Amino acid sequence: MGTKILLPALSPTMEVGKIAKWFVKEGDTVESGDILAEIETDKAVMEFEAISEGVVEKLLVTANSEPIAVNSPIAIISGEDDQTANTDPPTDQDEVAATVQEETASVRVPPQVPKEKLSEEIALENVSFKSQTFREALRDAMAEEMERDELVFLMGEEVAEYEGAYKVSQGLLEQFGSKRVIDTPITEHGFTGLGVGAGFAGLKPIVEFMTFNFAMQAIDHIINSAGKTLYMSGGQMNCPIVFRGPNGAAARVAAQHSQDYAAWYSHIPGLKVVQPFSAADAKGLLKSAIRDPNPVVFLENEILYNRSFDVPELDDYTVPLGKAKIWQEGTDVTLVSFGIGMSHTLEAAQELEGLGISAEVIDLRSLRPLDKETVVESVKKTNRCVTIEEGFPVCSIGNHLSYLLMQEAFDWLDAPVTCCTGKDVPMPYAANLEKLALVSVPEIIEAAKAVSYWEK
């Protein structure tokens, strides 16, 4: 009886992968450390080694076939029993797989997403769509803008030869060359300042942060240099720069790598701040951000990178900064969110429908400028509001929305605005604690029920 070899998770957010190439064939004898295969993950192609000796009895998956889920069996190796992580335990394998699934359920299981509506400025007739990941949409946005304007260039750690730590800049080096796709040393403070200077001098830099957590080393240049110079120069010197990269929690990367900076940057006059949820918005908003003459902080999300959405097949699809999108119309409660928060919100809205609560779901998309009107109008209709975000609760985007609604829709509110946020703690590592720290679907449902005075 051989040991089943399972497809390993090779990154914190990997859900599926495929065998790019087998290095062994059936009947081969392998030793610990031998390379069995190359596995293509959501970010890279990685070698996968045998962890014990034995004979390859069967290869269960052919190379370059469709992606399969993490923990699916890929081969059977006979020989010494081995019960380490990447082999199938002799007892209940389904239970183990289920545990892995459950640990990350709050972030990994995509809800049913309603069909995305296009911004009103796009004519709906004759527009075809293609399914594209968030990651591919970002790449296409950059490629299209670089094609369109010589002054646009991309710089950051591992953006060129490695093609992006999260594969977002795949193919760009080949397409545009090393003059315009520039690998920097690991030196956030320095290369951010350098990018801002290049922006002052007329270029249109896209500065990629491997994650926004690292941008804290460079925050002086984002705020003091990029954000304030137009004002301090009496309107003479603008900085047409985009700071982009993954923001917020990924999965199990703990406190220093899991933080949502939406509220931080939204605090600053002079910066624009965007946090898209869908791939279509990611593409349209990034293109607008690159063309914008002001500094734009463009907050992406690692978990969303691999999600597919319908993206309109248009030569030049842009989405205006500062405009929210109503994903779903409703009459009983307004749910306002952005970025990954939208994922939980849409799922909650579906469950609420089952309870007879009709939720209107608004994706802010841009946090600065903020589309106050859309939120206020919606609340005047539903009389109730729940805000949803992944960031910390103190001085959150939701706090600001609550204030705006008190000022502008006080007489329409039938219940206090409730803010669902991440918890007021540094992100813990343990899977159960991380799940507790993140904003969750049940919390949103409870909040919506509470503001609706819902009784069974």
Residues labelled catalytic = 188, 257
Q: Identify which of residues 294 and 399 has a Cβ nearer to another protein in the complex.
A: 294
C-alpha 285/C-alpha 283 separation (Å) is 6
Does residue 176 belong to the site contacting another protein (CB under 8 A)?
Answer: no
CB 278 within 8 Å of CB 345: no
Q: Is 201 in the site for another protein (CB under 8 A)?
A: yes
Does residue 89 have a cis peptide bond before it, meaning omega lies within 30 degrees of 0?
Answer: no
Does position 133 interact with another protein (CB under 8 A)? The reply is no
CB under 8 A: which stretch of 11-19, 73-81, 190-198, 439-447 binds another protein?
Answer: 190-198
Q: Is 220 in the site for another protein (CB under 8 A)?
A: yes
| Sequence-separated (6 or more) residues with CB below 8 Å from residue 454 | 355, 357, 448
Q: Does 190 bind another protein (CB under 8 A)?
A: yes
Q: State the nearest-atom distance from the C-beta of 218 to another protein, in Å.
A: 9
Cβ proximity of 108 and 35 under 8 Å? no
- Cβ atoms of 105 and 81 within 8 Å: the answer is no
User: Interaction with another protein in 134-153: which residues (CB under 8 A)?
Assistant: 153
User: Phi/psi of residue 143, each to 5°?
Assistant: -60, -45
Kindly provide the b/e burial profile for residues 214-241, where b requires at least 16 CB atoms within 10 angstroms of the residue's own CB: bbbebbebbbebbbbbbeeeeeeebbbb
- C-alpha closest to that of 134 among 309, 321, 299: 309
Query: Which region, judged by CB under 8 A, interacts with another protein, from 71-79, 161-169, 193-201, 259-267?
Result: 193-201
CB of 417 to another protein, least distance (A): 27
- The piece of 195-203, 252-260, 375-383, 431-439 that touches another protein (CB under 8 A) is 195-203
The residue from 85, 109, 232, 406 that contacts another protein (CB under 8 A) is: 232
Which parts of 254-293 interact with another protein (CB under 8 A)? 269-270, 272, 293
Nearer of residues 297 and 417 to another protein, judged by Cβ: 297
Q: Which of 199, 276, 284, 341 binds another protein (CB under 8 A)?
A: 199
**DSSP β-bridge partners for residue 205:** 153
| String marking each residue 361-380 x if it binds another protein according to CB under 8 A | --------------------
Toward another protein, which CB reaches closer, 193 or 428?
A: 193
How many residues bind another protein (CB under 8 A)? The answer is 39
Q: Does 235 bind another protein (CB under 8 A)?
A: yes
Give the CA count within 13 Å in the CB-facing half-sphere of 430: 3
| Minimum CB–partner distance for residue 183 and another protein (Å) | 10
161 sits near another protein (criterion: CB under 8 A): no
Task: Tell how far CA 310 is from the center of its chain.
Answer: 16
Relative orientation angle of helices 397-409 and 372-382, to the nearest 10 degrees? 60
β-pair partners for 52: none
Strand order through the sheet with 181-183 = 181-183, 152-156, 204-208, 242-246, 296-300, 272-274, 366-368
**Which residues would be at the binding site for another protein (CB under 8 A)?**
153, 179, 184-185, 187, 189-203, 220-221, 224-225, 229-238, 269-270, 272, 293-294
